[in-house]
Amino acid sequence: MPDPVRTAAVRAVLILSLTIIQAMVAFLSTLTGSWLAFPMVLSSVASTVAATWSVLDVWVTRQVWNQRNGVVSMPSSSARQLRRERRRARRAARTGQRDGARIGHPSQDRGLSRA
């Protein structure tokens, strides 16, 4: 996972966990009839909005990263095909160089003795 996406995911997990804790405190304070119940319920609603926003931030960050850096994980992707073709061309060029170098190689001029 790329660094910006990982950062957004960690931020989203922290916000979600704090939202769940806050909602639980709001629920328990509502059950006990505490004065803290109403402010906690209001802040839980605001935290829920922030948590939703942070999850959307992870999704958007992932999409932007994929678009900018061309990360394509589909097996039939054109990026993979281009890399495969480049690799074949480099391999063929290296093989051609090796074959060309072997033609006039001095060690091949001498034959091996067969005893």
pLDDT in tens, 13-62: 999 999 999 999 999 999 999 999 999 999 999 999 999 999 999 999 99
Residue with tokens 């804790």: 21
Question: pTM above 0.85?
Answer: no
Q: Say whether pLDDT at 74 is over 70.
A: no
- Residue 25 CA to residue 74 CA, distance in Å, equals 44
Q: Say whether pLDDT at 115 is over 80.
A: no
